Structure 1
Amino acid sequence: MPSFSNNTKAMAFGLGAVVLWSTVATAFSLSLKSLSPTQLLLIACAVSLIFLLALLGYKGQLNQLKYHATQSWKASLFYGVINPFLYYLILLQAYDLLPAQEAQAINYTWAIMLSFMAVPILKQRLTLADYIAAASCYFGVLYISTRGEITTLAFSNIIGVGFAILSTIIWALYWLLNTKDDRPSLIGLTLNFAFALPIILTFAAATGELTHWQPEGIWGAVYIGLFEMGISFVLWNRALKLTTNASQVANLIFLAPLLSIVWLTQLANEPILASTLVGLSCILLGLFVQNWSKRKPS
């Protein structure tokens, strides 16, 4: 039997994660036709937590989980409020108000947001490439948000666009603060979901969303919890551990929005707007410029 190098395995795991992530916009779009953002988040969080607990049980790390749950409960509560509670609740609101193609394209600008937020939080400095990348990405956001009518600034849904941009701020903040988190990654993620679940449940009860469930969206929520919040994380984490070239694996993420367009047209029957393609091209160009600049020798 042929043997595969660790880098080959890493690319395979990374590609698997990217393919799963590319289906999420379609799953969001289909599920939100039957469930509210809060209901969808509640089911997905519960499913993801069950998966992560089963994985830790399989790896024999439940005792570690118990230890960190008692020793780091403040961190677990803090990070759990940010992600999954706030991040996914706001992201799902964006998907509920915008076509999935627009919400997912805007969401991909989180890497640019992270660079700018790293200046005050991590005391990092911006480069010329960061400014060029930001200009390209946010021109793309503007083009998508106005559906090509950038001179009139007639936004298709300003509230939905606001939620989509806010989700990038929260996601970038989560990863910047996560650099100071000393919990093991898988255990930390599991605790985040464990502490967030009762908060999401309480929020759902307070907003009257524990009733009037439509079963058509439940399987989509289960899919999101299992694949977007669970298995994809394991695959991506495994890819980064196996590879000797992290940037090569990271470049796979550029495939996700392109594959997402395919799934949206084929499975969600969402017609793709020309403005989305133009704007997404600008966003991907900006991300490429930023990624390329960080690979250059200093």
Structure 2
Amino acid sequence: MTEQSVSVIQGNRRATVLVLAAVLCWSTVASAFKLSLQYLSPLQLVTIASVVSAIFMFGAICWQRRLPELATSWRANYKWYLALGFCNPFLYYLILFNAYALLPAQQAQPLNYTWGVVLALLSVPLLKQKLRRQDLLAGLVCYTGVLVIATRGDVFSLQFDQPVGVALALLSTVIWSCYWLLNTRIGGNAAVNLLLTFCCGLPWLMLAIWWQGGWQWPPLAGWLGAVYVGLFEMGIAFLLWQGALMSCDNTARISNFIYLSPPLSLLLIALLVGEQIHMATIAGLGLILLGVAIQQGALRRFLLRNRSY
């Protein structure tokens, strides 16, 4: 075995450890959102978490010795950062947390997971990409899953317990997809981009707090929850995922690990939040994951690999 082969194997092992750690972080955040919103308003939660994330990212950039890149990136792309900051953290997380405030976590989390299909569909008009048949099929399967979850399995009645919450959860996927499509126009270091984006989003949050009548000091439990969200949802998981992508020789090798996050999240929602997971949620989540797999071509690759000759 050559030295290069050993290096590739070690890199792939490191990538696997990092991506599993990132998946574990992502699996906890739906429960953290729901528990934190017992003590905080959605605006309080996104504001505290965004400040914590910005501080964390600044420390990470200093540790990576990329501090000079902040000024260079800002001068080159400040208009994009202003637009991105309005999308995320301000608009995206404010809408997402309001969805979590209205919906059970077991519903909000799978609905938010449809953003990958939304991203593919929005790439057609915004990036001039070609619409594939698998994109249409993926959208149909995913949104059938959404319908199953939103109606708790009674799809033909079209009776929604929380139509506003469902609409907000789906709207958050559109905003998140737009954010990443805009992000592709910048390039450069991802951590630097995220810090500058969050710094541009904070003034919008301050303005919203002023418009609502000022800051109300939350209890300690609320602070702890918001700090956790800021560190793990908006900070540590992001760097773990970035590190995994940089360590592996093929992103397809680790991308399928993302499918572990929603089932783990449902398990933690049951254990930590105390929600009884409905069969409709499990069925709907299965359809959403199937849709995402179709959109990414995973199902097609699996069938080709396992068909009999």
Task: State TM-score, norm by structure 1.
Answer: 0.95
Match for residue 194 of structure 1?
199
CA–CA distance in structure 2, aligned partners of residues 154 and 79 of structure 1: 36
Which amino acid in structure 2 is aligned with residue 117 of structure 1?
L
Match for residue 38 of structure 1?
43
CA–CA distance in structure 2, aligned partners of residues 135 and 255 of structure 1: 22
The Cα offsets for residues 119-145 of structure 1, whole Å up to 9 and x where unpaired, read as 111111222222221111100000100
Match for residue 154 of structure 1?
159
Match for residue 176 of structure 2?
171
Question: Is residue 62 of structure 2 the alignment partner of residue 67 of structure 1?
Answer: no
* Matched residues, number: 296
Contact 1:39–1:209 under 8 Å retained in 2: no
Contact 1:109–1:168 under 8 Å retained in 2: yes
CA–CA distance in structure 2, aligned partners of residues 294 and 148 of structure 1: 25
Pair 23,209 (structure 1): closer, same or farther in 2 beyond 3 Å? farther
Match for residue 218 of structure 1?
223
- SS of the equivalent of 1:23 reads helix
Q: CA deviation at 1:198?
A: 2.1
Q: CA deviation at 1:62?
A: 1.6
Contact 2:269–2:275 under 8 Å retained in 1: yes
CA–CA distance in structure 2, aligned partners of residues 206 and 153 of structure 1: 36
CA–CA distance in structure 2, aligned partners of residues 294 and 121 of structure 1: 26
Q: CA deviation at 1:215?
A: 2.7
Contact 1:52–1:230 under 8 Å retained in 2: yes
CA–CA distance in structure 2, aligned partners of residues 294 and 151 of structure 1: 28
Moved more, 129-138 or 63-72: 63-72
Which amino acid in structure 2 is aligned with residue 83 of structure 1?
N
Match for residue 137 of structure 1?
142
Moved more, 110-119 or 121-130: 121-130
Pair 149,209 (structure 1): closer, same or farther in 2 beyond 3 Å? farther
Q: CA deviation at 1:248?
A: 2.1
CA–CA distance in structure 2, aligned partners of residues 151 and 20 of structure 1: 36
The Cα offsets for residues 138-165 of structure 1, whole Å up to 9 and x where unpaired, read as 0000010011111110011000000000
Question: Is residue 76 of structure 2 the alignment partner of residue 86 of structure 1?
Answer: no
Q: CA deviation at 1:293?
A: 5.4
Instruction: Work out the percentage of aligned pairs sharing the same amino acid.
Output: 44
Q: CA deviation at 1:112?
A: 0.8
Deviation beyond 3 Å, 4+ runs, structure 1: 293-297
Which amino acid in structure 1 is aligned with residue 86 of structure 2?
V
Q: CA deviation at 1:295?
A: 7.4
- SS of the equivalent of 2:297 reads helix
Gap regions ≥5 residues in structure 2: 1-5, 305-309
Question: Is residue 248 of structure 2 the alignment partner of residue 255 of structure 1?
Answer: no
CA-based RMSD: 1.8
CA–CA distance in structure 1, aligned partners of residues 69 and 299 of structure 2: 36
CA–CA distance in structure 1, aligned partners of residues 101 and 141 of structure 2: 26
CA–CA distance in structure 2, aligned partners of residues 295 and 279 of structure 1: 21
Question: Is residue 284 of structure 2 the alignment partner of residue 286 of structure 1?
Answer: no
- SS of the equivalent of 2:277 reads coil
2:251 aligns with one of 246, 259, 282: 246
The Cα offsets for residues 35-83 of structure 1, whole Å up to 9 and x where unpaired, read as 0000000100000011001111112222221332344322211111111
Which amino acid in structure 1 is aligned with residue 97 of structure 2?
L
Match for residue 3 of structure 2?
none
Gap regions ≥5 residues in structure 1: none
Pair 72,132 (structure 1): closer, same or farther in 2 beyond 3 Å? closer
CA–CA distance in structure 2, aligned partners of residues 250 and 295 of structure 1: 15
CA–CA distance in structure 2, aligned partners of residues 135 and 183 of structure 1: 35
Which amino acid in structure 2 is aligned with residue 216 of structure 1?
A
Q: CA deviation at 1:294?
A: 9.0
The Cα offsets for residues 170-198 of structure 1, whole Å up to 9 and x where unpaired, read as 11111112111134211111100111112
Match for residue 57 of structure 2?
52
Pair 209,287 (structure 1): closer, same or farther in 2 beyond 3 Å? farther
